Amino acid sequence: MKFQSQSVAKPYFIAAIALFVGQIIFGLVMGLQYVIGDFLFPAIPFNVARMVHTNLLIIWLLFGFMGSAYYLIPEESETELFSPKLAIALFWIFLAAAVLTVIGYLAVPYATLAHITGNDYLPTMGREFLEMPTITKVGVVIVCLGFLFNICMTVLKGRKTAISMIMIMGQVGLAVFFLFSFYNPENLILDKIFWWWVVHLWVEGVWELIMGSILAFVLIKTTGVDREIIEKWLYMIIAMALITGILGTGHHYFWIGTPEYWQIIGSVFSAMEPIPFFMMTLFAFNMVNQRRREHPNKVAVLWALGTAVMAFLGAGVWGFLHTLAPVNYFTHGTQITAAHGHMAFFGAYVMIVLTMISYSMPLMRGRAAANSKKAQTVEMWSFWLMTVSMVFITLFLTGAGILQIYLQRMGDNPESFMVVQQKIEIFYWLREAAGVMFFIGLLTYVTSFFVKGDEAKA
Amino acid sequence: MIKTASKIPLPGDLAMWVLILAELSVFALLFITYAVSRQLNPELFFNGQQLLHPIAGSLITIALLSASFFVAQSVNFYHQVKPRLAAASMWLAILCGLVYLVIKNWEYQQLIEQGIGLSTDSFFTYYYLLTIFHMFHVILGLGLLTYVAINLMKENWREGNILESISSYWHMVDLVWLILFPLLYLVH
């Protein structure tokens, strides 16, 4: 660790991992509710479990992105963080808001939560992924503003690099597009259009900048390849991400009441969205092949290569599967979407945060470069357990989706939703089993932090 | 006997060529979807085409080809270290690009006055999407050419890589029009 203040990232990463564990527990609960509908009812109904599962994911990824920025920006800027105290204060505010919100979800009915948090004054609740109460949203904005102020001041007083600029672009974009969660027009079509400005322009737009910048940072550190080469790759990747991703938003506008031309725009541009992810895969493998040093933190390199491959598969290939309008006509809102969502989020954003944690955490915990061989071996086990389980979750959901589309939407006698859900039950059972494997992988991951031993050498 | 390919160095930056390939792929995808839609609805597309002005399209083609010619000339003059001629050529190219913009806008006005818009039918959806998308590229290209032209007017500007990259981009924009024009206006 080059600068003392980088260590403010540590509580962010610890909170991220803790919330990640919570997310997976609720994932397992709702996975079971797919087949045993009244499991834990009425304490935790399906809609609540789903809300907690998705919201925790978003919140812990935000913790991970902020932690990554707090670690990365001072090192890139070659100066201490502008205000470590502010970073710690914001951490506690954010954590308190997140925990209170989840308690609110679980303790009272959603409508009551909306009422007591004053949703009537500025209604923003009730929309998928953005379910959090309005006051929590305001809290997120305050935390984001303080965070942006802190990292921008740091960059301003220090060295400006392409990596830190792209990181800041990504984080600013994240904050700006979140503001659309406060816009809640009466017209349902307009509502959906702007809702996607948060959801899509995050994951298929500005978050890709954050991902690219973290990946570039970790690759510079672990491979020792020249900064100029890495930056050139980074520029091309983010250019492609924005060229394809912004107009690619159109693939969400197919059947929601928007004009037909969105079918052409959405299909063509989103069909190109795999390209930046493919470039990221080429980038990661090329840099590791051209490496000028053997970094002792092998597992961080494994995560970096893993995220590049899994992001391409999950976001790129599984996204392409159902992005063309004529295909999406059948697949829209089926388990194909769930399959894509799982592997894309895991491959692109979970794994990039874990890459950063894997690289930086040993340094923040006082090691010279890496964890012990033993700890790394345990972490590699967790990598493979989680990644392989996620591949299986995705394959089972894809199987469920294909069967669902065939039974429910094609042929002469399409069957009703609930009848079809019964018929594809076997896939849900298999998915749940893969989910349990994933959870074991996650516990292994947590365990790896407590494995001792002599530090690994290159 | 098979001759090995001579090693001609790539004009401009490799990054620009990646971008050009990406741009061409987007247009290729658009052309393919256009072709499929046309195949499904030949009559509607034929009727739509009747409302376009092939002469305006031809004038645009001439304007864009001339622009490309002047851009290429400018690069030649630059390599012969004749910065004034290079700058003059570049300004002529920009002028040709502006001619394109004027004619294209006249065409749009004609159509809009007849009440034909983006949502009239699928032929015109494609017509507007493809040509407006192409026009954005021309506008971006003109911005880049202006940047180069201004720099070429400084006697000691030696950035061949930038000049060639931007020129290659302009030729790509031109190339796309050469496919777009027959596809939309001529092929029945």
Where does residue A289 fall: left (phi above 0), alpha (psi -120 to 50 degrees), or beta otherwise? Answer: alpha
Confidence at residue A412, expressed as pLDDT on a 0 to 100 scale: 87
Confirm whether pTM is higher than 0.90: yes
Confidence at residue B1, expressed as pLDDT on a 0 to 100 scale: 45
What mean pLDDT is predicted for residues A13-32? 98
Q: How far from A432 is each of A266, A422, A438, CA to CA, in Å?
A: 33, 15, 10
Tokens of A367: 């090691």
The C-alpha torsion from A101 through A102 and A108 to A109, rounded to 10°, is: 90
Is B47 an 8 Å CB contact of chain A? no
C-alpha A401/C-alpha A407 separation (Å) is 10
Best A230, A254, A261 residue to mutate vs chain B (most B CBs within 10 Å): A261
Confidence at residue B6, expressed as pLDDT on a 0 to 100 scale: 60
Q: How far from A370 is each of A11, A177, A301, A375, A455, CA to CA, in Å?
A: 19, 37, 11, 10, 6
Tokens of A277: 């992810």
Those of residues 238-297 in A touching chain B at CB distance below 8 A are 239-240, 243, 259-261, 264-265, 267-269, 271-272, 275
Confidence at residue B156, expressed as pLDDT on a 0 to 100 scale: 87
Is A446 an 8 Å CB contact of chain B? no
Report whether pLDDT(A46) > 90: yes
What residue of B is the nearest CA neighbor of A266?
Answer: B30
Confidence grade of residue B4 (pLDDT, cut at 50, 70, 90): low
Strand partners, A455: A372
Best B20, B33, B41, B118 residue to mutate vs chain A (most A CBs within 10 Å): B33
Q: Give the CA count within 13 Å in the CB-facing half-sphere of A162.
A: 18
Report whether pLDDT(B3) > 80: no
What mean pLDDT is predicted for residues B34-55? 94
What mean pLDDT is predicted for residues A181-189? 95
Tokens of B146: 């202006």
* Domains present along chain B, CATH in parentheses: 54-186 (1.20.120.80)
- Which single residue is written with the structure tokens 């092929």? B187
C-alpha A438/C-alpha A435 separation (Å) is 5
Burial of B113 (0-12, 13-18, 19+ CB in 10 A): exposed
Q: How far from B115 is each of A350, B111, B120, B130, CA to CA, in Å?
A: 50, 6, 8, 19
Higher pLDDT, B181 or B3: B181
* Domains present along chain A, CATH in parentheses: 240-458 (1.20.210.10)
Report whether pLDDT(B5) > 80: no
Report whether pLDDT(A458) > 80: no
Higher pLDDT, B12 or A163: A163
Report whether pLDDT(B2) > 60: no
Confidence grade of residue A248 (pLDDT, cut at 50, 70, 90): very high
Confidence at residue A414, expressed as pLDDT on a 0 to 100 scale: 95
Q: What is the pLDDT of residues A308-367, one digit of tens each?
A: 999 999 999 999 999 999 999 999 999 999 999 999 999 999 999 999 999 999 999 999
DSSP conformation class of B9 = P
Chain A residues touching B30 at Cβ < 8 A = 264, 268
| Partner residue opposite B15 with nearest CB, options A235, A260, A267 | A235
Tokens of A89: 């204060």
ipTM for the whole predicted complex goes beyond 0.90 = no
Chain A residues touching B18 at Cβ < 8 A = 236
The answer to whether the peptide bond before residue A84 is cis (omega within 30 degrees of 0) is: no
Q: What is the pLDDT of residues B108-158, one digit of tens each?
A: 999 999 999 998 999 999 999 999 999 999 999 999 999 999 999 997 898
Comparing CA positions, the residue from A168, A236, A250 lying closest to residue A204 is A250
| Partner residue opposite B129 with nearest CB, options A232, A236, A261 | A261
| Partner residue opposite B33 with nearest CB, options A259, A267, A275 | A267
Burial of A85 (0-12, 13-18, 19+ CB in 10 A): exposed
What's the length of chain B?
A: 188
